[in-house]
């Protein structure tokens, strides 16, 4: 058994033992959880467990299916449909770009702008066929330094479109790869790359009221930032309002 598969099994056991602590939102149609890093969303080669399988077992609902996906190493808010109505409602909102997804990303390097939108067409990274226009909004929260005076920037990231690996590819395009994302050129190491879906807003099927959930930042994200020195606060309010796992 590989170390990564062993870790995914440990995560599965943690979820099964304390499911309520992972739940961010629940109604008859939808379940939103704070996904830990290290477990794949769906059955994957090399892994004996997946988050979908764990939640199906824990909720005794074989119809439970993900409404969208996060990479195995990405943590944070993710929604599952418990019913066909729930999945259909979420699918409609994704098509219409009604869902707001905000991430935190720690990147290696200094952010040179106040805020901005990146919208390149990157063939083969974001779209495996011809490449599609994709847009991501970035806003800096804080800048850090490590003991060797390497610079890091904590970014608030908003997905304006939803392509595969979009945030990771766009930051690599800017030559600011996410910390520990070796696939996209990061020279820094950690137990996982530091990308977290922090906030998610959507309309549940049973209500026209928008629901906003906040996923506390994972401990394995914090262990990296805790070892850095805050060099500059671009957005002190955002920095000090972040919610962390206990």
**Dihedral (Cα; 106, 216, 101, 116), 10-degree rounding:** -30
Q: What is the pLDDT of residue 43?
A: 86
- Is the pLDDT at 39 greater than 90? The verdict is yes
Cα–Cα distance for residue pair 220/35, rounded to 1 Å: 12
State both tokens at 56: 């199906």
State both tokens at 126: 């974001």
Q: What is the pLDDT of residue 246?
A: 63
- Is the pLDDT at 131 greater than 80? The verdict is no
Q: In which band, very low, low, confident or very high, does the pLDDT at 129 lie, cut at 50, 70 and 90?
A: very low
Q: In which band, very low, low, confident or very high, does the pLDDT at 208 lie, cut at 50, 70 and 90?
A: confident
Span 107-132, average pLDDT: 66
Comparing 33-42, 109-118, 146-155, 164-173, the range with the smallest average pLDDT is 109-118
Per-residue pLDDT reduced to its tens digit, 148-187 = 999 999 999 998 887 888 999 999 989 999 999 999 999 9
Pairing of strands 75-81, 151-159: unpaired
**DSSP secondary-structure letter at 206?**
T
State both tokens at 111: 């952010």
Q: What is the pLDDT of residue 122?
A: 53
Average pLDDT in the chain: 90
- Is the pLDDT at 34 greater than 80? The verdict is yes
CB 113 within 8 A of CB 155: no
- Is the pLDDT at 126 greater than 50? The verdict is no
Return the higher-pLDDT residue of 170 and 128.
170
Q: What is the pLDDT of residue 7?
A: 85
41-71: string of b/e by CB count within 10 Å (b at 16+)? beeeeebebbbbbbbbebbeeeebbbbbebb
Residue 34 belongs to what H/E stretch? strand 30-35
Q: What is the pLDDT of residue 95?
A: 92
For the chain, domains (ranges, CATH) are 3-240 (3.30.2350.10)
Q: What is the pLDDT of residue 120?
A: 62
- For residue 95, how many C-alpha atoms fall within 13 Å in the half-sphere facing its CB? 6
Q: What is the pLDDT of residue 113?
A: 73
Per-residue pLDDT reduced to its tens digit, 52-101 = 999 999 999 999 999 999 999 999 999 999 999 999 999 999 999 999 99
- Is the pLDDT at 46 greater than 80? The verdict is no
């Amino acid at each position: 058994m590989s170390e990564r598969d062993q870790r995914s099994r440990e995560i599965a056991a943690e979820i099964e033992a304390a499911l309520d602590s992972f739940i961010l939102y629940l109604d008859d149609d939808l379940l939103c959880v704070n996904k830990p890093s290290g477990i794949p969303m769906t059955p994957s080669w090399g892994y004996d467990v997946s988050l979908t399988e764990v939640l199906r077992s824990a909720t005794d609902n074989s119809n439970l299916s993900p409404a969208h996906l996060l990479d195995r190493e990405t943590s944070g808010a993710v929604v599952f449909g418990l019913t066909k109505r729930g999945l259909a409602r979420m699918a409609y909102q994704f098509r219409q770009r009604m869902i707001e997804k905000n991430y935190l990303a720690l990147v290696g390097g200094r952010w040179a702008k106040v805020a901005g939108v990146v919208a390149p067409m990157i063939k083969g990274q974001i779209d495996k066929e011809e490449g599609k226009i994709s847009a991501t909004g970035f806003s800096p929260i804080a800048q850090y330094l490590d003991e060797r005076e390497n610079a890091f920037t904590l970014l608030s990231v908003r997905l304006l479109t939803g392509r595969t690996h979009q945030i990771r590819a766009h930051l690599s395009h800017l030559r600011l790869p996410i910390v520990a994302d070796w696939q996209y050129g990061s020279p820094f190491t950690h137990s996982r790359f530091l990308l977290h879906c922090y906030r998610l807003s959507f309309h549940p099927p049973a209500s026209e009221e928008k629901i906003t959930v906040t996923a506390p930042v994972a401990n394995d994200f914090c262990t990296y930032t805790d070892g850095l020195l805050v060099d500059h606060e671009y957005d002190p309010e955002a920095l000090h309002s972040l919610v962390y796992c206990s």
